[in-house]
């Protein structure tokens, strides 16, 4: 990393996004170039309709993503570096053979656990982790990481307590049963989750989103409901936000970048029953830079964004670099999306302190 003397410019190794939703079909024309502008590798979440359950489906999905990249007008350099990595959607019916095929393919990087009903397109998810024991055993053998949406779904559990409950009741026993399994606690939102991850072996890590570093539930709920802050797991109280900032900027390799950028058309968010998800792919690096700089830790951004993810996944560090400058940028009010709709990004219309320097 090379910061300028007064920390107004920083050049870091090109980051990867270890958790992103690109969707499929015409949506890719918007989401793929936004992600490819900043990131080399992407962990592409499989909660499509229908979900990506087999290696064959994962290969087809990757081809559509690459086609959208080719059709976009991003630079040839960025096109060459772009490398989407695929994920299988775990169900009650996933078989150990599916894991063996996934490993052989070289295209599938991980398997995602969505507890059934926990979030967008999770209806086909796992109803009881006991149904997946043989599959998880095979994942441990094959060294395929389990990516976890860590929330219980019982209606009697308060939405703000669902992450902790999942860690205590589901993940903790699972890790004890499979100590060599690589696990990523995706988009952690609480101090409980941060402490949980720190207490585990190096096989357990976590991604953190920009919205959970920059905001808390007051931003979403005070002075009127702001649907563009609504995501799952939901924003928590400020004490949790503070702990997430502490661990993200601590230099611990257990915490790395995963935007959870989740495109939903503006009309689907600004709705009586609004969808969960914050769209950040296009502005994620300025958002993270602002969060790190706000606590005087811009020097810790490179580890979080570009080093710790590849280390966890056992992949090489990227060779290219990207420069961020402390020059205010205005976040667009919206982007064009398919079917004449728009997407509203996180912090639409507002100013960020950092921007990506044109190469």
- Indicate which residues carry an active-site annotation: 260
Binding mask 86-115 toward ligand DOR (x if CB under 6 A, else -) reads ------------------------------
Q: Does position 120 bind ligand DOR by CB under 6 A?
A: yes
Q: What tokens appear for 318 in the block?
A: 């990227």
Q: Which is nearer to ligand DOR, 148 or 175 (CB)?
A: 148
Radius of gyration, CA atoms only, the chain: 19
Sheet of 108-113, strands arranged across:
17-20, 41-44, 83-89, 108-113, 146-148, 183-185, 204-208, 255-257
Q: Does position 160 bind ligand DOR by CB under 6 A?
A: no
Q: Which is nearer to Zn ion, 233 or 303 (CB)?
A: 233
Q: Does position 185 bind ligand DOR by CB under 6 A?
A: no
Q: Which of 55, 119, 140, 344 binds ligand DOR (CB under 6 A)?
A: 119
Q: Does position 234 bind ligand DOR by CB under 6 A?
A: no
Q: Residue 6's CB: how many other CB atoms inside 10 A?
A: 7
Binding-site partner at residue 228 among ligand DOR, Zn ion, none, CB < 5 to 8 Å by type = none
Closest C-alpha to 112, from 78, 131, 96, 136: 136
Handedness of CA 82, 18, 267, 216 (dihedral sign): negative
The DSSP string of 41-94 is EEEE----SS---SHHHHHHHHHHHHHHHHHS---HHHHHH-EEEEEEEP-TT-
Q: Does position 310 bind ligand DOR by CB under 6 A?
A: no
Q: What tokens appear for 172 in the block?
A: 């903790």
Q: What whole-number distance in Å separates Cα of residue 22 and Cα of residue 44?
A: 7
Q: How far is the CB of 45 from Zn ion (least distance, A)?
A: 5
C-alpha torsion angle, residues 63, 69, 71, 72 (rounded to 10): 160
Q: Which of 14, 31, 47, 153 binds ligand DOR (CB under 6 A)?
A: 47
Query: 10 to 29, contacts with ligand DOR by CB under 6 A?
Result: 21
Binding-site partner at residue 164 among Zn ion, ligand DOR, none, CB < 5 to 8 Å by type = none
Query: 233 to 292, contacts with Zn ion by CB under 5 A?
Result: 260
Q: Which residues bind ligand DOR (CB under 6 A)?
A: 21, 47, 119-120, 149, 231-232, 260, 262, 276-277
């Amino acid at each position: 990393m090379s910061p300028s003397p007064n920390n107004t410019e920083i050049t870091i190794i090109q980051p990867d996004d270890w958790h992103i939703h690109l969707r499929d079909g015409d949506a890719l024309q918007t989401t793929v170039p936004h992600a490819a502008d900043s990131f080399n590798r992407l962990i592409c979440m499989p909660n499509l309709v229908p979900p990506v359950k087999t290696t064959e489906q994962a290969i087809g999905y990757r081809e559509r993503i690459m086609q959208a990249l080719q059709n976009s007008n991003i630079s040839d350099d960025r096109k060459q570096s772009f490398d989407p990595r695929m994920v299988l959607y775990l169900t009650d019916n996933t078989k150990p053979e599916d894991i063996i095929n996934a490993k052989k393919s070289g295209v599938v990087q991980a398997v995602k656990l969505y507890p059934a009903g926990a979030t967008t397109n999770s209806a086909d998810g796992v109803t009881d982790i006991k149904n997946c024991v043989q599959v998880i055993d095979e994942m441990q053998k094959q060294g395929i990481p389990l990516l976890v949406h860590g929330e219980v779904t019982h209606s009697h559990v308060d939405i703000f307590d669902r992450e902790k409950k999942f860690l205590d009741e589901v993940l903790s026993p699972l890790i004890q049963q499979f100590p060599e399994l690589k696990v990523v606690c995706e988009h952690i939102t609480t101090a409980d989750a941060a402490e949980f991850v720190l207490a585990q072996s190096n096989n357990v890590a976590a991604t953190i989103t920009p919205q959970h570093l920059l905001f808390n539930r007051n931003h979403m709920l005070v002075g009127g409901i702001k649907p563009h802050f609504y995501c799952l797991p939901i924003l928590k109280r400020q004490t949790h936000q503070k702990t997430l900032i502490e661990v993200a900027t601590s230099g611990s390799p257990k915490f790395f970048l995963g935007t959870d950028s989740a495109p939903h058309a503006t009309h689907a968010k600004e709705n009586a029953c609004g969808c969960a998800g914050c769209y950040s792919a296009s502005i994620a690096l300025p958002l993270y830079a602002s969060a790190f700089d706000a606590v005087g830790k811009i020097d810790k951004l490179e580890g979080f964004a570009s080093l710790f993810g590849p280390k966890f996944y056992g992949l090489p560090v990227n060779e290219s670099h990207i420069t961020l400058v402390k020059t205010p940028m205005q976040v667009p009010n919206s982007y064009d999306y398919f079917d004449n709709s728009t997407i509203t990004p996180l912090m639409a219309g507002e100013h960020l302190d950092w921007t990506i320097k044109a190469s």
